[in-house]
Amino acid sequence: MAYRTAFKMPIGTTPYRLVYGMDCHLPVEIAQRTYWATTSYNDAGKARKLALCEIEELRDEAYECASTYKAKMKKVHDAKIWLKSFEIGQKVWLYNTRMKLFPSKLKSKWTGPFMIVGVGNHGQFEIEDFDDHIRQVVNGYRLKPYLEMDDIHKMDKESGSFIVTSPVYDDN
């Protein structure tokens, strides 16, 4: 009952109001309304027809509220998505989604390297393992570029965003 009478933001009303066309009332209020209904029995047919029209209007309003809510949520979700561009022959890391089920502090969640063999239309990529030559199709959100030391040095010289240092050993 609490769920049915609580206001829901996506539909803009309560589920009870969508089904029955009116707000839910406590039993004390219902007793008062039954007295009112018996005294005004003459216009019952007109009132019922009006109530049915109101229910249709409520449902239409809830549908509009739900569609605008979904559009806003889609806009927020799409703003967080950024497209990844990979090329055939590029080395990538693959995110192991099973690490969420069996977490380990020191175990890496990324496996690889893999080589991209094919690119799909909807963000899927076909990758191949270097050792086993086993191919699999994965979604692009599970991939990130595999950078080798030459790539890192080249990026360091071009943009200055990566700092690569060699370890310093002290003979003391």
| Measured CA angle at 169 (ends 164, 172), to 5 deg | 155
Strand partners, 114: 92, 129
**H or E segment to which residue 109 belongs:** none
- Max distance between CA atoms of the chain, in angstroms, equals 106
The whole-model pTM stands at 0.43
From first to last of the 172 residues of the chain, give the pLDDT tens digit.
667 777 787 778 888 888 887 777 656 555 455 555 555 555 667 777 777 778 888 888 888 888 899 999 999 988 887 767 888 999 999 998 776 666 677 778 888 899 999 988 888 899 999 889 899 999 888 898 988 877 666 665 665 554 444 444 455 4
* Sign of the torsion angle spanned by Cα atoms 52, 56, 61, 66: positive
Report the distance separating Cα 57 and Cα 141, nearest Å: 42
Q: What does the alpha-carbon distance between residue 160 and residue 1 come to, in Å, rounded to a whole number?
A: 61
Cα dist. 56→24, 51, 78 in Å?
18, 9, 33
Domain with CATH 2.30.30.140 in the chain: 91-158
CATH architecture of 91-158: Roll (2.30)
With contact defined as beta carbons under 8 Å apart, do 113 and 91 qualify?
Answer: yes
Neighbours of 21 (CB within 10 A): 17
